[in-house]
Amino acid sequence: MSNEVGVELAALGIVATSVTALVWIVKFLMKDIKDSIDKNTKSHERVADVTQEILAFLRNLNGKLADITAQRITTQDKKRHRR
C-alpha cells in the first residue's frame, strides 16, 4: 500500500511540475507576444500619421502639378536660351 501511495505522489509531483512549467512558458510567450503587439501598434500609428501627411500634401497639390511642371519646364528653357 505504501508503494502505491509513493507512485501516486510521484505522479502528482510530475503533474504539478508539468503544470508549473506550462504556466511559466505561457507567461514567457505572452510577454513576448505583448511586446510584439505593442511594437506593431506603434508602427501602425506611425504609418497612419505618415499616410495622413501624404494625403494632406496630395490634396494641397491637387490640380497644381500640371502648372508647376509647365512653369519648371519654362524656367529651364529660359536658362538654356541664356547660355
DSSP per position, 9-67: HHHHHHHHHHHHHHHHHHHHHHHHHHHHHHHHHHHHHHHHHHHHHHHHHHHHHTTTHHH
CA distance 46 to 33: 20
Which amino acid type is present at position 1?
M
Write down the domain spans for the chain: 2-82
User: Is 54's pLDDT higher than 80?
Assistant: yes
pLDDT at position 59: 85
The mean per-residue pLDDT over the stretch 32-44 comes to 93
Alpha carbon 56 to chain centroid distance?
Answer: 23
The mean per-residue pLDDT over the stretch 55-65 comes to 84
The model scores a pTM over 0.85: no
Model confidence band, residue 81 (pLDDT cutoffs 50, 70, 90): confident
